Homo-oligomer: A and B are copies of this chain.
Amino acid sequence: MENKESQQACNHTIGSHKSCISLVPIFNHLESEQMDEILMTAQSVSYKKGEIIYQADNQSTSLYIVNSGKVRIFRLSESGKEQLVRILNPGDFTGEYALFSESTHESFAEAMVDTAVCMINRTDLQAFLLKYPSISLKILAEFSTRLEQSEKQSTWFATEKVETRIAHYLIEGLAGGNHSEVLELPMSKKDLASYLGTTPETISRKLADLEAQGLIKLKPHKKIEIIDVEGLLLV
Protein backbone atom coordinates (compact mmCIF):
# COMPACT_ATOMS: atom_id res chain seq x y z
CA MET A 1 0.00 0.00 0.00
CA GLU A 2 2.31 2.65 1.26
CA ASN A 3 5.48 2.02 -0.72
CA LYS A 4 7.44 4.83 0.74
CA GLU A 5 10.17 3.95 -1.72
CA SER A 6 8.38 4.87 -4.92
CA GLN A 7 10.19 5.36 -8.24
CA GLN A 8 12.56 2.62 -7.31
CA ALA A 9 13.82 0.08 -9.78
CA CYS A 10 12.17 -3.24 -9.30
CA ASN A 11 15.16 -4.97 -7.78
CA HIS A 12 14.51 -3.06 -4.62
CA THR A 13 11.03 -4.40 -4.17
CA ILE A 14 10.82 -7.53 -6.24
CA GLY A 15 8.59 -9.21 -3.75
CA SER A 16 5.90 -6.64 -4.04
CA HIS A 17 6.25 -6.55 -7.79
CA LYS A 18 5.81 -10.19 -8.13
CA SER A 19 2.68 -10.11 -6.08
CA CYS A 20 1.50 -7.26 -8.22
CA ILE A 21 2.21 -8.76 -11.59
CA SER A 22 0.99 -12.18 -10.74
CA LEU A 23 -2.34 -10.70 -9.81
CA VAL A 24 -2.94 -9.61 -13.33
CA PRO A 25 -4.92 -11.91 -15.59
CA ILE A 26 -2.95 -10.91 -18.64
CA PHE A 27 0.29 -12.21 -17.17
CA ASN A 28 -0.74 -14.99 -14.87
CA HIS A 29 -0.32 -17.74 -17.46
CA LEU A 30 3.40 -17.05 -17.92
CA GLU A 31 6.32 -19.10 -16.68
CA SER A 32 8.00 -17.69 -13.66
CA GLU A 33 11.15 -16.80 -15.56
CA GLN A 34 9.20 -14.88 -18.17
CA MET A 35 7.46 -13.08 -15.38
CA ASP A 36 10.81 -12.18 -13.87
CA GLU A 37 11.90 -10.80 -17.20
CA ILE A 38 8.94 -8.46 -17.18
CA LEU A 39 9.51 -7.56 -13.57
CA MET A 40 13.01 -6.39 -14.38
CA THR A 41 11.60 -3.59 -16.48
CA ALA A 42 8.73 -2.60 -14.23
CA GLN A 43 8.76 0.31 -11.87
CA SER A 44 6.80 0.69 -8.69
CA VAL A 45 5.22 4.00 -7.81
CA SER A 46 2.87 4.95 -5.04
CA TYR A 47 0.40 7.77 -4.82
CA LYS A 48 -1.41 9.38 -1.96
CA LYS A 49 -5.15 9.81 -1.92
CA GLY A 50 -6.19 12.45 -4.41
CA GLU A 51 -2.98 12.48 -6.41
CA ILE A 52 -3.16 12.38 -10.18
CA ILE A 53 -1.50 9.37 -11.80
CA TYR A 54 -1.76 10.65 -15.31
CA GLN A 55 -3.46 13.49 -17.10
CA ALA A 56 -5.13 13.84 -20.44
CA ASP A 57 -2.69 16.15 -22.08
CA ASN A 58 0.68 14.85 -20.96
CA GLN A 59 0.81 11.48 -22.61
CA SER A 60 2.37 8.92 -20.40
CA THR A 61 3.39 5.94 -22.46
CA SER A 62 3.19 3.30 -19.80
CA LEU A 63 0.90 0.54 -18.77
CA TYR A 64 -0.25 0.99 -15.19
CA ILE A 65 -1.16 -2.01 -13.10
CA VAL A 66 -2.83 -1.39 -9.79
CA ASN A 67 -1.06 -3.21 -7.01
CA SER A 68 -3.08 -1.95 -4.10
CA GLY A 69 -5.60 0.81 -3.57
CA LYS A 70 -8.26 2.20 -5.87
CA VAL A 71 -8.05 4.42 -8.93
CA ARG A 72 -10.68 6.63 -10.53
CA ILE A 73 -10.52 6.95 -14.31
CA PHE A 74 -12.47 9.92 -15.57
CA ARG A 75 -12.80 12.24 -18.53
CA LEU A 76 -13.53 15.89 -18.87
CA SER A 77 -16.14 16.94 -21.38
CA GLU A 78 -15.79 20.04 -23.52
CA SER A 79 -18.01 21.88 -21.11
CA GLY A 80 -15.74 21.00 -18.19
CA LYS A 81 -17.98 18.45 -16.53
CA GLU A 82 -16.26 15.29 -15.50
CA GLN A 83 -17.50 11.81 -16.13
CA LEU A 84 -16.29 8.78 -14.27
CA VAL A 85 -15.34 6.07 -16.72
CA ARG A 86 -14.42 3.26 -14.39
CA ILE A 87 -12.76 2.37 -11.13
CA LEU A 88 -9.64 0.24 -10.96
CA ASN A 89 -9.09 -2.24 -8.18
CA PRO A 90 -5.94 -4.25 -7.49
CA GLY A 91 -5.09 -6.34 -10.55
CA ASP A 92 -6.76 -3.98 -13.03
CA PHE A 93 -4.69 -2.05 -15.51
CA THR A 94 -4.95 1.14 -17.50
CA GLY A 95 -2.93 3.31 -19.80
CA GLU A 96 -3.83 1.35 -22.87
CA TYR A 97 -4.50 4.33 -25.09
CA ALA A 98 -1.08 5.82 -25.41
CA LEU A 99 0.36 2.34 -25.33
CA PHE A 100 -0.69 1.01 -28.66
CA SER A 101 -1.88 3.90 -30.72
CA GLU A 102 -0.21 7.22 -31.26
CA SER A 103 -3.30 9.18 -30.42
CA THR A 104 -3.14 11.10 -27.17
CA HIS A 105 -5.44 9.75 -24.53
CA GLU A 106 -8.03 12.00 -23.03
CA SER A 107 -8.67 10.51 -19.66
CA PHE A 108 -7.36 11.15 -16.17
CA ALA A 109 -6.37 8.72 -13.46
CA GLU A 110 -6.59 9.71 -9.82
CA ALA A 111 -5.82 7.72 -6.70
CA MET A 112 -9.00 7.44 -4.64
CA VAL A 113 -7.03 6.19 -1.65
CA ASP A 114 -3.35 5.60 -1.11
CA THR A 115 -2.41 3.47 -4.06
CA ALA A 116 0.57 1.57 -5.43
CA VAL A 117 0.96 0.81 -9.10
CA CYS A 118 3.44 -0.98 -11.33
CA MET A 119 4.43 0.82 -14.50
CA ILE A 120 5.66 -0.99 -17.57
CA ASN A 121 7.19 1.11 -20.27
CA ARG A 122 5.61 1.21 -23.68
CA THR A 123 8.58 0.00 -25.67
CA ASP A 124 9.36 -2.71 -23.15
CA LEU A 125 5.83 -4.00 -23.26
CA GLN A 126 5.71 -4.03 -27.04
CA ALA A 127 8.88 -6.07 -27.07
CA PHE A 128 7.30 -8.58 -24.71
CA LEU A 129 4.20 -8.80 -26.80
CA LEU A 130 6.26 -9.69 -29.84
CA LYS A 131 8.29 -12.17 -27.85
CA TYR A 132 5.39 -13.80 -26.02
CA PRO A 133 2.38 -13.49 -28.31
CA SER A 134 0.08 -15.21 -25.86
CA ILE A 135 0.04 -12.04 -23.78
CA SER A 136 -1.48 -10.21 -26.71
CA LEU A 137 -4.38 -12.58 -26.82
CA LYS A 138 -5.02 -11.93 -23.16
CA ILE A 139 -4.95 -8.22 -23.68
CA LEU A 140 -7.13 -8.50 -26.74
CA ALA A 141 -9.66 -10.43 -24.70
CA GLU A 142 -9.55 -7.78 -22.01
CA PHE A 143 -9.95 -5.01 -24.57
CA SER A 144 -12.86 -6.61 -26.31
CA THR A 145 -14.62 -7.07 -22.99
CA ARG A 146 -14.01 -3.48 -22.08
CA LEU A 147 -15.15 -2.32 -25.49
CA GLU A 148 -18.33 -4.30 -25.17
CA GLN A 149 -18.83 -2.76 -21.76
CA SER A 150 -18.24 0.73 -22.99
CA GLU A 151 -20.59 0.38 -25.93
CA LYS A 152 -23.23 -1.02 -23.67
CA GLN A 153 -22.87 1.95 -21.38
CA SER A 154 -23.08 4.23 -24.36
CA THR A 155 -26.32 2.58 -25.42
CA TRP A 156 -27.73 2.97 -21.95
CA PHE A 157 -27.00 6.65 -21.89
CA ALA A 158 -28.53 7.05 -25.30
CA THR A 159 -31.70 5.09 -24.77
CA GLU A 160 -32.58 4.59 -21.12
CA LYS A 161 -33.79 7.04 -18.56
CA VAL A 162 -31.93 7.71 -15.35
CA GLU A 163 -34.06 5.52 -13.13
CA THR A 164 -33.50 2.55 -15.43
CA ARG A 165 -29.76 3.10 -15.47
CA ILE A 166 -29.67 3.21 -11.71
CA ALA A 167 -31.76 0.08 -11.39
CA HIS A 168 -29.50 -1.82 -13.75
CA TYR A 169 -26.42 -0.53 -12.06
CA LEU A 170 -27.69 -1.94 -8.80
CA ILE A 171 -28.44 -5.30 -10.37
CA GLU A 172 -25.02 -5.51 -11.98
CA GLY A 173 -23.53 -4.68 -8.61
CA LEU A 174 -25.30 -7.69 -7.21
CA ALA A 175 -24.18 -9.98 -10.00
CA GLY A 176 -20.52 -9.12 -9.61
CA GLY A 177 -19.22 -10.35 -6.31
CA ASN A 178 -21.87 -9.92 -3.65
CA HIS A 179 -24.08 -12.93 -3.73
CA SER A 180 -26.04 -11.57 -0.85
CA GLU A 181 -28.85 -9.15 -1.45
CA VAL A 182 -27.08 -6.25 0.13
CA LEU A 183 -24.55 -4.35 -1.91
CA GLU A 184 -22.22 -1.59 -0.89
CA LEU A 185 -21.71 1.26 -3.28
CA PRO A 186 -18.02 1.35 -4.18
CA MET A 187 -18.07 5.12 -4.53
CA SER A 188 -19.74 8.27 -3.34
CA LYS A 189 -23.10 9.20 -4.75
CA LYS A 190 -21.41 12.12 -6.35
CA ASP A 191 -19.17 9.73 -8.27
CA LEU A 192 -22.07 7.45 -8.98
CA ALA A 193 -23.94 10.36 -10.48
CA SER A 194 -20.95 11.13 -12.65
CA TYR A 195 -20.66 7.51 -13.67
CA LEU A 196 -24.32 7.27 -14.61
CA GLY A 197 -24.36 10.59 -16.37
CA THR A 198 -26.62 12.46 -14.00
CA THR A 199 -26.46 14.63 -10.88
CA PRO A 200 -26.18 13.73 -7.20
CA GLU A 201 -29.60 15.28 -6.59
CA THR A 202 -31.24 13.03 -9.12
CA ILE A 203 -29.48 9.96 -7.74
CA SER A 204 -30.75 10.83 -4.32
CA ARG A 205 -34.31 11.32 -5.52
CA LYS A 206 -34.42 8.22 -7.68
CA LEU A 207 -33.05 6.01 -4.96
CA ALA A 208 -35.70 7.42 -2.66
CA ASP A 209 -38.30 6.65 -5.33
CA LEU A 210 -37.08 3.08 -5.69
CA GLU A 211 -37.27 2.69 -1.95
CA ALA A 212 -40.78 4.13 -1.91
CA GLN A 213 -41.75 1.53 -4.49
CA GLY A 214 -40.46 -1.15 -2.17
CA LEU A 215 -37.80 -2.34 -4.57
CA ILE A 216 -34.78 -1.51 -2.43
CA LYS A 217 -33.98 -0.44 1.09
CA LEU A 218 -31.37 2.18 1.81
CA LYS A 219 -29.10 1.38 4.72
CA PRO A 220 -26.33 3.30 6.43
CA HIS A 221 -22.78 3.32 5.09
CA LYS A 222 -23.59 3.33 1.37
CA LYS A 223 -25.28 -0.04 1.71
CA ILE A 224 -28.37 -0.90 -0.26
CA GLU A 225 -30.53 -3.95 0.19
CA ILE A 226 -32.10 -5.22 -2.99
CA ILE A 227 -35.59 -6.40 -2.22
CA ASP A 228 -37.19 -7.01 -5.60
CA VAL A 229 -34.79 -7.81 -8.45
CA GLU A 230 -37.63 -8.57 -10.86
CA GLY A 231 -39.20 -5.26 -10.08
CA LEU A 232 -35.94 -3.43 -10.66
CA LEU A 233 -35.58 -5.01 -14.07
CA LEU A 234 -38.93 -3.60 -15.08
CA VAL A 235 -38.16 -0.03 -14.03
Contacts and interface: CB of A to CB of B under 8 A. Distances in A.
A222 B134 CA distance: 47
Interface string A151-190: 1111111111000100010000000000000000000000
A205 B142 CA distance: 41
In this complex, which of A100, A140, A151 has the most chain B Cβ atoms within 10 angstroms of its Cβ?
Answer: A151
Interface residues of A, number: 51
A160 B197 contact: no
A56 to B, nearest CB: 11
Given A97-B148, A106-B148, A152-B75, A157 B158 contact: yes
Nearest to A196: B158
A206 B60 CA distance: 39
Nearest to A167: B78
Nearest to A147: B147
A34 interface: no
A148 B77 contact: no
A81 B129 contact: no
Contacts of A160: 77-79
Contacts of A156: 77
A58 interface: no
Contacts of A139: 140
A164 B106 CA distance: 19
